[in-house]
C-alpha cells in the first residue's frame, strides 16, 4: 500500500478509537487513538510506513503507561460516597422507637427522616449512627457502640 492509503487508515483509526473511548471506561482505547493520531500526522508528512508503525506503537505504549499512572493516582485515598451510601457513618436521632421484631422505627439524619431497623430495640431520642442502607431503610446502632 502506498502512503496515501496509510494517511486515511491512520486518520480513521484515530477517530474510531477516540469515539470508542467515549463509550468505554478506563481509558483503554485512548492510548491507541493518540498513537494513531501521531502516526496519521507522520503519514500526512510523507514519513516512511515503518516509521509510522514504530511511532504508533511507541506513542501508544508511552501514553498507556502515563494514563495508568494518572488513573492510579486519582484512585488513591478514600472515594466519595455516592447515592444512598453517603448516609453511612452519619449520626442522627431516633424519632420513633426502633423495634427489630415489628420493623417499626423512624430516625432523623441531617434534615431527613428515614425508616430504620436495628439488631436491638432503641428508644426514642437516642443518638444513633447509620451503619448501612438496606433498601429504603437505615440500619442503625446506638451512638455509644460506634
25-54: pLDDT as tens digits: 778 899 999 999 999 999 999 999 999 999
- Alpha carbon of 142 to those of 45, 93, 124, 126, 145: distances in Å? 71, 9, 11, 7, 6
84 vs 62, which has greater pLDDT?
62
**Which pLDDT belongs to residue 32?**
97
**Domains of the chain and any CATH numbers:** 3-75 (no CATH), 83-145 (2.40.50.140)
SS3 121: coil
Q: What's the first-to-final CA gap in the chain, in angstroms?
A: 70
Question: Is residue 90's pLDDT more than 50?
Answer: yes
The answer to whether 130 and 118 have CB atoms below 8 angstroms apart is: no
Residue with cell 516512511: 48
142: left (phi over 0), alpha (psi -120 to 50) or beta: beta
Instruction: Determine what percent of the chain falls in helix, strand and coil, rounding each to the nearest 5.
Output: 50, 25, 25
The answer to whether 133 and 91 have CB atoms below 8 angstroms apart is: no
User: Average pLDDT in the 80-104 region?
Assistant: 87
Q: What does R_g of the chain's alpha carbons equal in angstroms?
A: 28
Residue 143 CA to residue 145 CA, distance in Å, equals 5
User: Average pLDDT in the 63-72 region?
Assistant: 90
User: Average pLDDT in the 92-108 region?
Assistant: 92
132 vs 77, which has greater pLDDT?
132
Question: Is residue 142's pLDDT more than 90?
Answer: yes
| Axis crossing angle, helix 49-75 with helix 3-22, rounded to the nearest 10 | 10
For strand 91-99 and strand 104-109, is the pairing parallel, antiparallel, or unpaired?
antiparallel
User: Average pLDDT in the 91-96 region?
Assistant: 95
| 13-22, 77-86, 132-141: least confidently modelled range | 77-86
| Phi, psi (deg, nearest 5) at residue 86 | -65, -15
Return mean pLDDT, the chain: 91
User: Average pLDDT in the 3-14 region?
Assistant: 95
User: Average pLDDT in the 41-68 region?
Assistant: 96
With a pLDDT cut of 70, the percent of the chain lying above it is 97
Res. 145 pLDDT band, cuts 50 70 90: low
SS3 116: strand
Amino acid at each position: 500500500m502506498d502512503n496515501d492509503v496509510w494517511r486515511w487508515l491512520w486518520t480513521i483509526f484515530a477517530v474510531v478509537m477516540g469515539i470508542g473511548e467515549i463509550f468505554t471506561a478506563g481509558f483503554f482505547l485512548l492510548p491507541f487513538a493518540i498513537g494513531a493520531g501521531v502516526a496519521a500526522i507522520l503519514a500526512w508528512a510523507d514519513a516512511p510506513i515503518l516509521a509510522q508503525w514504530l511511532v504508533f506503537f511507541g506513542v501508544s505504549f508511552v501514553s498507556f503507561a502515563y494514563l495508568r499512572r494518572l488513573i492510579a493516582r486519582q484512585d488513591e485515598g478514600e472515594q466519595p460516597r455516592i447515592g444512598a451510601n453517603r448516609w453511612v457513618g452519619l449520626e442522627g436521632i431516633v424519632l420513633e422507637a426502633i423495634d427489630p421484631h415489628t420493623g417499626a422505627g423512624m430516625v432523623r439524619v441531617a434534615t431527613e427522616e428515614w425508616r430504620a431497623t436495628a439488631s436491638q430495640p432503641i428508644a426514642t431520642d437516642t443518638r444513633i449512627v447509620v451503619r448501612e442502607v438496606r433498601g429504603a431503610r437505615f440500619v442503625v446502632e446506638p451512638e455509644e457502640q460506634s
